[in-house]
Amino acid sequence: MNLTIRPEEQRDREKIEDLTREAFWNLYRPGCDEHYLAHTMRDHPDYLDDLAHVAVLDDVIVGSIRYMKSQVRNERDETIDTATFGPLCVDPGVQRQGIGTRLIEHTKRLLIRKGTPAIIILGDPHNYCKHGFKNGKDFHITSSDGRFPLGLLVLELKQGVFADHRWRFQESTAYDLDPEKVEAYDRRFPPKTKEYRTSQELFGMMIRAYLD
């Protein structure tokens, strides 16, 4: 497989939005909003431009990873800057061949080099535990409402950085999307049928699940 991981370029943007729409369509809800997020996030002040990478297979973009700045705050009001990826996606035709892993591993190395102490995401544990992510509870990191969501996942890049404190995670406001704007933006793309899939049930359970 002739696969390369390279930094995203401006000319890739349209292709990335198409790819993102294909990968997420009907997966977590009927339709999806991740292609709109891919469109808006790059103009947000929290966007980490240097981390945006694509996977290229035989000259075709088949994967994309984008990051935003995020933060944790402890009981003394001290903060640590962290990084959050998403959307992360791979063309459905070439999933389960290690491409997502390559995107995560490559950008993880860049973050270590930059001195970023952790990646924190809200995602499906099934996809990320194999990459070393643990639940926020293992590091006493809650969501902003003080709870431990099943999908709040932390990959420590600097060992012990969260030790001896309790933390609250704050993700970028870039992830707060207006459903009406999502709908309007989606009309720019070729029509696609919104449908129910059982994966939506699993996702619905996951986002309502918390650790004690």
Ligand X SMILES: CC(C)(COP(=O)(O)OP(=O)(O)OC[C@H]1O[C@@H](n2cnc3c(N)ncnc32)[C@H](O)[C@@H]1OP(=O)(O)O)[C@@H](O)C(=O)NCCC(=O)NCCS
The window from 45-53, 123-131, 135-143, 173-181 that contacts ligand X (CB under 6 A) reads: 123-131
Among 26, 40, 74, 127, binds ligand X (CB under 6 A): 127
The answer to whether residue 19 forms part of the interface with ligand X (CB under 6 A) is no
Contact code string over 36-75 relative to ligand X, x by CB under 6 A: ----------------------------------------
Residue with Cβ nearer ligand X (127 or 200): 127
Q: How far is the CB of 205 from ligand X (least distance, A)?
A: 14
Q: Report in angstroms how near the CB of residue 144 gets to ligand X at its nearest.
A: 19
- Check if the beta carbon of residue 163 is closer than 8 Å to that of residue 185: no
- Cβ neighbors of 33 (< 8 A, separation 6 or more) are 177, 179, 182
The DSSP secondary structure of 84-101, one letter per residue, reads EEEEEEE-GGG-SSSHHH
Shortest separation between residue 31's beta carbon and ligand X, angstroms:
14
Tokens standing for residue 39: 């469109």
Select from 46, 119, 137, 55 the least CA-distant residue to 90. 55
**CA distances in angstroms from 30 to 34, 93, 199, 200, listed in the order given:** 12, 20, 10, 8
- The answer to whether residue 125 forms part of the interface with ligand X (CB under 6 A) is no
